């Protein structure tokens, strides 16, 4: 992967990581209830699950590349359209709310499992990875190495963003309630722009 493409991928990873989703919501809740140290187990479980899903998507797309370049091009365009649709949905979404009622203290293992299950049970993550990976894959280069770079880059970005969320849990919750709609529009616009541009790179 060229440095220029990797930097663009890194920026896209950051955009995806900062959008509130099931894992971010779980980390935010655990950070507020249990503190940043225990939330690390939630984050680790979630990142592991997301790496597994992302790697499966990348390797599956590698098989598609080998089977048909035309089909791969079609998937790139379809992925761009999905990102645009995701952006529109996020633009129109209501601010994220957090309900901590019924949440109880859990062991480190329980927090880890909750993070892992939140990641692997989210079908939207599978669709998202299938959508945004193709534009960054180069059919002429080693797909395994590209998959490793893609997975590690996303994992690092996701971990850092979620740890920042856990650190700022008490401050972020009221901010999301007050500014969540504008935040959704900003992230939604990001996805629409990238969805329109990425298939044609």
Helix or strand holding residue 133 (H, E): none
Domain count, the chain: 1
d(CA 140, CA 62): 11
Average pLDDT, the chain: 76
Going from the C-alpha of 141 to that of each of 25, 54, 137, 147, the distances in angstroms are: 37, 18, 8, 11
Greater confidence, 101 or 14? 14
d(CA 156, CA 116): 16
Q: Contact, 116 vs 108, CB < 8 A?
A: no
Q: Contact, 201 vs 54, CB < 8 A?
A: no
* Residues 46-100: tens digit of each pLDDT: 899 888 888 877 777 666 666 676 776 776 777 677 767 767 876 776 665 555 4
d(CA 54, CA 63): 14
Q: Which domain holds residue 181?
A: 3-200
* Residues 134-168: tens digit of each pLDDT: 778 777 888 788 888 888 998 899 899 888 888 87
């Amino acid at each position: 992967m060229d440095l220029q493409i990797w930097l663009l991928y890194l920026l896209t990873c950051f955009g995806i990581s900062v959008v509130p989703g099931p894992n971010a919501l779980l980390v935010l809740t655990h950070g507020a209830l249990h503190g940043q140290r225990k939330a690390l187990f939630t984050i680790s479980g979630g990142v592991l699950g997301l790496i597994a899903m992302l790697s499966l998507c990348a390797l599956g797309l590698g098989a598609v590349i080998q089977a048909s370049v035309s089909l791969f091009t079609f998937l790139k365009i379809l992925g761009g359209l999905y990102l645009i649709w995701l952006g529109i949905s996020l633009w129109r979404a209501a601010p994220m709310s957090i309900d901590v009622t019924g949440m109880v203290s859990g062991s480190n293992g329980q927090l880890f499992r909750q993070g892992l299950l939140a990641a692997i049970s989210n079908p939207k993550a599978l669709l998202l990875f299938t959508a945004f990976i193709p534009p960054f894959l180069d059919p002429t280069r080693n797909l395994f190495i590209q998959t490793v770079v893609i997975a590690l880059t996303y994992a690092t970005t996701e971990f850092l963003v979620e740890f920042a969320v856990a650190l700022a849990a008490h401050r972020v919750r009221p901010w999301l309630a007050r500014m969540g709609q504008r935040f959704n529009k900003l992230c939604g616009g990001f996805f629409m722009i990238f969805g329109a541009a990425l298939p044609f790179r």
